[in-house]
Structure formats: structure tokens, C-alpha cells
Amino acid sequence: MKKENCLFCNLANGVFATNTVYEDENFRVILDIAPAAKGHCIVLPKEHFDDALTADPEILGKAMAVAAKTGNALMKAYNCQGINIVQNNGAAAGQTVFHLHIHVIPRFDNDGLVLNKAGQNETDENLAIIAKEVAAAF
């Protein structure tokens, strides 16, 4: 279902003009208007889901397949050395538009782009405690 006041629903469904690079019955892939790198694309489901945690699992799987297809197209178009596939859930994780979307970003050796930082090493004991806490939440 499309949400009328959702910018990404409107972009995905052709209400607003986009620089579309791919489209099928479930998705539209557009260029990001504030790209992290040349060719940075966004995979947009035409149906509204706030994020991956609330999305229909079938659509979520198809979205990742479209992201992979987009990554392969970017590799072919730009001969890049890698691809970031990024999906944020919730404001604390960096999500700014609350419509499920996946960023596909071309990467080049020594491009200087930093998307994440490594965390700190945990002790085996702490990892065992954390594993039990998360497993219990399933």
C-alpha cells in the first residue's frame, strides 16, 4: 500500500520526476540527489514499509536482489572495485526517510569515503553474555 504523504512512496510510484535507472512491478531504483559517490543509487519499494524491520519478508528479499542487480550494473558502468549496500533502520541508525530503502554506493580503491568505523574488540566472556541476551530475545 502506498502512503500518500510519503516522499519515497511518491518517488517510487512516479508521482515526482526522478533519475530512474531501473524499474519493475515492485521497485524503482533512482539516483540519490545527495550522492556519497558518483552513481549512488537508492532502491525504493513501491509499497510503503517504514523500514526493514516492518517490511514483508518477501519484498525485503526481492529488495536485496534488486540491490545486487544494481550493484552489478554499477560495477559494469563504472568499473568500480567495490559496492556498499546500506540499509538503516530508525533514526539512531541514521534513517532520515521512514520508507524502506537501500543505498547502493560504488566504491573505488583509495576513494577516501568513510561510511562506518570499526568498533572495539570484546572479550570472549562479554561476547558469550551478549550472545545469550540476543538469543533470548528471539
3-class DSSP string for 91-132: HHHCCCCCCCCEEEEEECCCCCCCCCCCCCCCCHHHHHHHHH
Catalytic residue among 40, 48, 101, 103: 101
Rounded distance, CA 108 to CA 36, Å? Answer: 12
pTM for the full model? Answer: 0.90
Which pLDDT score is estimated for 4? 85
What digits encode the pLDDT tens for the residues 50-66?
Answer: 999 999 999 999 999 99
- pLDDT tens per residue across span 96-133: 999 999 999 999 999 998 876 667 788 888 888 888 89
Sign of the alpha-carbon torsion through 114, 84, 2, 24? positive
Concerning whether 99 is annotated as a catalytic residue, the answer is no
Confidence of residue 10 (pLDDT cuts 50, 70, 90): very high
